[in-house]
Chains A and B, each alone.
Chain A
């Protein structure tokens, strides 16, 4: 595998789920180039180190508190990435991910290129809640940024003619985004 597109976060805490939801949407809307893998990393922390250590290029989606306006996207690359993932400890997976990167480094397998597409969350306290409007709106622009980064790496994805149906998505069993958010939307 030459590149890994990784979404991290906890879907059960509203905007905390941004990274996973971005990867889920990326998968439904785009076909990845050969050698590019998409992964819903959840809050797996150190368990992700082997996936990170086996790729040359790593692209991460995550909710990051930059102190900006909710929904604002910020892309950082290279050595800036570990600094940002540890900039503000909002949840388990963030400290975890900074450690994942340094553990990969210690193993002697640090990815050659790293990019982080971070989204400023609005609400991280709404247990069982959906992505808030500003963060949900940022998913498409986040994907556009990801397409640009992958293209620069020579592995541009292809937009699918039609999105994959939900049953072919990365998340199933009622935790795909539409099904998960259904009760809060007032749907049975």
Chain B
């Protein structure tokens, strides 16, 4: 039956139903069901994710100053981002100001995560949606070298280098253990790269893996350790002792120089490897501009990377802040995260209970009460769902909305807003990329556009790392060594009751933590994470979320091998790990596809 959603999408669930469960190469567990028409074009999309039991259950009664350490454990990927969001929420609640050096160091930590996460996502989770690893085996190493040298000055590009790499890959594939490359749809008609481009991309896959060990050292220097770096309400935990030698935990000149050299490497790697690869891939896929979804109409970014400590206004934030609705790029709405009528979570189509499910709840008043039931038109049983009923409750993800609107969050949302604001640092790289590829601005609103925005943002973040590192060193040289403000450290300096909100732009989108403090302890704590925005089910009005919108109207070459679905979902860098735990059966590694 065909319907039109209030946010302007046509849905028709008449055709064959394709179930992909689990969606592979993501963090956490996710399932998607689509209906395709006679031409195998997606006409209805239903996305569902695992249970989130709410961090409030664990944090209630704990010390607000420790909340970051718990939130760091809810996800294996966004550890530092959750921790930063948490300390900001507590500082906002208690009116704690941090020193400038702490602001610079936090920005460096956050930008480091942005660079690291974007690289890992592109090369290790997403590239294989565009790159056919098995095809790389038939590449000519000489031609690969010529290709690599024609697009970049990156030194690892000799015929011998690619020949060795191809030999290693061949041995690996022949051993029958494809490792990270198993479960691919190798040879699929939707792969468009020539063998040489595939081999080059596989080489960079391994180089990116290797570069990780450098980039994480920045977290070790400023966070004391990695993984799970340390954070501090009121500032940053590591003191600055410029003349110190080898003191544990202290930031000295030697360490500052180490960070500086790693930042140089990050800039070089991004500009000589990541961006050229993105352009090369883009040039072969510029006819595949599906997957735009909400990006051309409704996007949101909280903004992040404050230029000035304690100033979280739009003017101070270097990543764009605001909301665009209904495609009106000339009107950017301001955001107030404390306003009970702006950010609200609905559960009409989610497996939770609210007293009144026609209304949404602001996170300060949020509740997480699971209530799992299948709709009347679902098929199968609770433990073996054959098909979901999207007219009823169908996901453990809640539906967050901004003033009732479904929005997309993430790198593309940030770039669309920055572009609409006319900010040169976002607009110019987009225009240049599109011009070079011979594409119009509308091409940005696509799966490929999302992938491109992430690459451009990685480059932006690498340069911002340099900016804040230089700023930090200049401040230190001017004699300001302050890294923490302990004026309001002890609970006897706090009000009896307080509430606050902290926000960041995580690599995959807007992240908010809302906290209520009572008698020195946490009374309520809610996190609204980026994948909840993008992966949300429908709301009471029937608006669909970003994942569902992006899948619509995509033609599939072979519905039994849903490469196009994975490609578009992966472009969001979905992370359901903060909802952890699987509901699938044993040992299921392949994206299992069922046609009903």
Contacts and interface: CB of A to CB of B under 8 A. Distances in A.
Interface string A21-53: 000000000000000000011111111111001
B81 to A, nearest CB: 14
A42 to B, nearest CB: 6
B69 A89 contact: no
Given A102-B180, A103-B180, A11 B227 contact: no
Contacts of A90: 582
A85 B230 CA distance: 29
Contacts of B63: 174
A10 B586 contact: no
B56 to A, nearest CB: 10
B61 A183 contact: yes
Contact of B179 (A91, A106, A128, A183): A106
Contacts of A106: 168-169, 172, 179-180, 206
A72 B566 CA distance: 38
B177 A107 contact: no
B57 A174 contact: no
Contact of B209 (A49, A54, A172, A183): A49
A14 B509 CA distance: 29
A90 to B, nearest CB: 7
B239 interface: no
Given A49-B209, A95-B589, A173 B68 contact: yes
Interface in B449-468: none
Interface residues of B, number: 46
Contacts of A171: 69
B577 interface: yes
B580 interface: yes
B76 A44 contact: yes
B213 A54 contact: yes
A83 to B, nearest CB: 10
Contact of A87 (B69, B124, B587): B587
B210 interface: yes
A134 interface: no
Contact of B69 (A86, A96, A102, A172): A172
Interface in A148-179: 171-175
A44 B116 CA distance: 13
Contacts of B228: 40, 42
Of the listed residues A92, A108, A188, the one surrounded by the most CB atoms of chain B closer than 10 A to its CB is: A92
Given A12-B73, A42-B73, A89 B588 contact: yes
15 contacts: A12-B73, A43-B580, A48-B227, A50-B212, A54-B213, A88-B586, A92-B76, A106-B169, A106-B172, A108-B168, A124-B581, A127-B53, A173-B65, A175-B73, A183-B62
Given A10-B73, A89-B584, A173-B68, 4 more contacts: A45-B76, A46-B209, A88-B587, A107-B206
Interface of B: 27-28, 53, 57-58, 61-63, 65-66, 68-70, 73-77, 79, 120, 124, 168-169, 172, 177-180, 206, 209-210, 212-213, 216, 227-228, 230, 577, 580-582, 584, 586-589
